Structure 1
């Protein structure tokens, strides 16, 4: 690897490589072997900028902490120490061989070993590479460079053993294949399918984190297919499976069933689509299977109330996966309103402004865009709303109120339920443009009461 390529690793990550090189250099000066390990080596070989750098070393945790006082011994029992250098946190792990994994997550014990043995206890060949920080030489004991060049994701050693050690690797396999665009090697794929129920041993939080990282990838639709075809999704999001084969009215959905419609929408989202939007697209029609009816008289399929039920199902699913409350609330709200877009051109100005003032409206508008684009192709409501955004841009959608509760009290009204009714009515007149100042608003209220 030439010097120019080694230097390019750190572009966009101020001094991250430099900081890690400093630590490795000090380890080597003290007589220890020190290599960059795992993802930073993989990403560098793929021409990507590593997000962070990990070091694998022959130094024991005690020797590492002696060299770098103030290090965090978060995983010293497993040979892992976090050292801080120039504002960067670098994980330094002692070469090791893992014992049994009775909890399906961490080894019961570790034995400090050699670089070759350490590489063979890792998950996939593309993550089992080392690099000498000074020379740039790549040390490959597991065939990772060949698999990187071929675009293949392959478990190291016996795939079933790797997945039984830590079943979250099942999800990681799908994520890596999705993120990198790699094909999963046949034996590894067969082991994923055969051991899919291993996810039952994994906490919802760990599954959630892997799934979140996958669903925001540009190739998220392929990732969803892999989760379905592998059988993994059955064990954490089984509500997706009934979407497959759930027929829709062909005049509105010529693209096919609900699953096909959903995955096309996922494909149409931009590469930087936020998590809330990706989850809302995935779950927006989640209640179509349980609400599906056949109107024989009209000769069409209906899904009455699937938006309201879908919001409840989305909330239940996301709570089961331990998503934060703000994510759950936003996704459920978006799902609950996605059918209202068909009525926006009939809304009065006040109702439309209130509809558009929701904090989630930009995400809802993007969902509506891909909802129509993946099905009937109608864009009239989308174009209407974009035009209204421009029309309303000069002023806040919901301006400061012209009348407050204190004004109502001064007019002789006692606080009570009628307060909110009057204030809402004044706001409606204001949003409709019929009241423009405080004096006219107070006069209007006087006339009302």
Structure 2
């Protein structure tokens, strides 16, 4: 495991030693330079900024450690996105050192400090009182580093790091769990989930994003307390679920949500996919749930949120539309694309997703069955189809849809070839004629305007009209 000190301290020492006439300031405990350095001469990272804040707390006589996720990620060889500091300094003392900081969490001992363009959360070591709302403690008491570590959710998030030395301080066994790739609640798992029910979903998210196994006692507590997630707001659930569904192991994450009972709480529609059988000649892989899981697995690791949600929801309406055609001796799902789009809209609205995400996913779900007809489309219709902003994502949805079922790739290859063929110009170029031209021809605005202009654009897309003069001539004839 890496244990090197923060780059910011190294840079500070280097800068000071190379600046003529500048005195160094050292810590009596570590003997290394902790003076503020002219970091503007170097690329400043989040770690640099946080290390400088921790050094200033230390010089003022306070203990200051990196805490939680940033320590975990560094030990896993990942670049932390941000840094949190846990300290013996009280909120008042933190504000005295860093005036003008954000006091929004001061009641819980948390101050947000902006330094070198980064926002670092600095929290006083604390123990939490009871959690009356299943979300946040009713009260806090300032305490010691060990007590602070024991109030946290999982052992891998209960680690501290001394910034100047890189020493790991582990009161909860988090380092051994990191090495074993195990997610374990600190103390009594049931107590941790009763305190904040969002930890139920966080456990699944960490197991998914880190590809860790959940320790049996912790897993049993998740299953037993799954209904507690109903106390959590849709927005908090959405944020955790979004981070899970874009993770490379998203299919395993979905399975954990289903098996734990958490999916039943906030996404019950997915349970209906289990056991919803499909025509074996088209879907030899199995039921709709298996098909969806395989698709999620086939997506690239960096698939965007809208694509992941579209894959998850593309067949969500198959259970309510399933019928059996006795004459053809086969299962059918007539209209599952249209109903699925409406269901996707309702599910994502319920989880408070942004409007643009909802619109994009709804649109992609509504069109996913149209890919089977692309080779029969006229050029104009095909160009309009491919011109949709979401088309690149839809093409990927179609790829994994086929790869997870019948394996047919003819429509995919056709669209890729057409994309290359049409690449020399915009799929839908600016129209050669417009409504003003119709008015000049003596027509009054009305429903026929749209029909004529759309017909003219179709002729343009088909390549039969290539100049404005030809388009005006065509319009004169069509408008008679």
TM-score by length of 1: 0.98
In the alignment, what sits opposite 1:426? 456
Q: 2:349 aligns with which of 314, 319, 332?
A: 319
In the alignment, what sits opposite 2:363? 333
In the alignment, what sits opposite 1:66? 96
In the alignment, what sits opposite 1:297? 327
Asked whether the 8 Å contact 1:127–1:144 carries over to 2, the reply is: yes
- Does 2:236 correspond to 1:178? no
CA–CA separation in structure 1 for the residues paired with 2:165 and 2:155: 22
Asked whether the 8 Å contact 1:9–1:49 carries over to 2, the reply is: no
CA–CA separation in structure 1 for the residues paired with 2:371 and 2:9: 46
Decide whether aligned partners of structure 1 residues 3 and 128 sit closer, same or farther in structure 2, where only a CA change above 3 A counts: closer
CA–CA separation in structure 1 for the residues paired with 2:134 and 2:108: 15
Decide whether aligned partners of structure 1 residues 6 and 330 sit closer, same or farther in structure 2, where only a CA change above 3 A counts: same
CA–CA separation in structure 1 for the residues paired with 2:225 and 2:467: 68
Q: 1:363 aligns with which of 377, 393, 396?
A: 393
Secondary structure of the 1:83 match is: strand
Asked whether the 8 Å contact 2:238–2:352 carries over to 1, the reply is: yes
User: Cα distance, 1:336 vs. partner?
Assistant: 0.3
User: Cα distance, 1:9 vs. partner?
Assistant: 12
Q: 1:350 aligns with which of 380, 394, 406?
A: 380
Secondary structure of the 1:84 match is: strand
Asked whether the 8 Å contact 2:150–2:158 carries over to 1, the reply is: yes
User: Cα distance, 1:6 vs. partner?
Assistant: 4.9
Residues 354-407 of structure 1, C-alpha deviation per residue, up to 9 Å, x if partnerless? Answer: 111111111100000000000000000000000000000111111111111111
Asked whether the 8 Å contact 2:9–2:48 carries over to 1, the reply is: no
In the alignment, what sits opposite 2:227? 197
Secondary structure of the 2:319 match is: helix
Residues 214-256 of structure 1, C-alpha deviation per residue, up to 9 Å, x if partnerless? Answer: 0000100000000000000000000000101100000000011
Q: 2:415 aligns with which of 341, 362, 385?
A: 385
- Does 2:250 correspond to 1:240? no
CA–CA separation in structure 2 for the residues paired with 1:219 and 1:6: 31
- Does 2:131 correspond to 1:101? yes
In the alignment, what sits opposite 1:125? 155
Asked whether the 8 Å contact 2:6–2:51 carries over to 1, the reply is: no
- Does 2:151 correspond to 1:144? no
CA–CA separation in structure 1 for the residues paired with 2:10 and 2:193: 33
Q: 2:117 aligns with which of 87, 90, 99?
A: 87
Asked whether the 8 Å contact 2:459–2:465 carries over to 1, the reply is: yes
TM-score by length of 2: 0.92
- Does 2:290 correspond to 1:225? no
> Which residues of structure 1 form unaligned runs of 5+?
none
Asked whether the 8 Å contact 1:372–1:379 carries over to 2, the reply is: yes
CA–CA separation in structure 2 for the residues paired with 1:42 and 1:8: 19
In the alignment of these two chains, the number of paired residues is 449
Secondary structure of the 1:241 match is: helix
Secondary structure of the 1:133 match is: coil
Asked whether the 8 Å contact 1:9–1:44 carries over to 2, the reply is: no
Decide whether aligned partners of structure 1 residues 9 and 197 sit closer, same or farther in structure 2, where only a CA change above 3 A counts: farther
Residues 66-102 of structure 1, C-alpha deviation per residue, up to 9 Å, x if partnerless? Answer: 0111111110000000112211111000000000000
Decide whether aligned partners of structure 1 residues 108 and 4 sit closer, same or farther in structure 2, where only a CA change above 3 A counts: closer
Secondary structure of the 2:177 match is: helix
CA–CA separation in structure 1 for the residues paired with 2:413 and 2:106: 58
- Does 2:77 correspond to 1:44? no
In the alignment, what sits opposite 2:435? 405
Residues 161-204 of structure 1, C-alpha deviation per residue, up to 9 Å, x if partnerless? Answer: 00010000001000100111110000000000000001110000
User: Cα distance, 1:15 vs. partner?
Assistant: 2.3
Secondary structure of the 1:89 match is: strand
Residues 22-81 of structure 1, C-alpha deviation per residue, up to 9 Å, x if partnerless? Answer: 111111111111111000110111111111111000000000000111111110000000
In the alignment, what sits opposite 1:56? 86
CA–CA separation in structure 2 for the residues paired with 1:15 and 1:334: 39
> Which residues of structure 2 form unaligned runs of 5+?
12-42
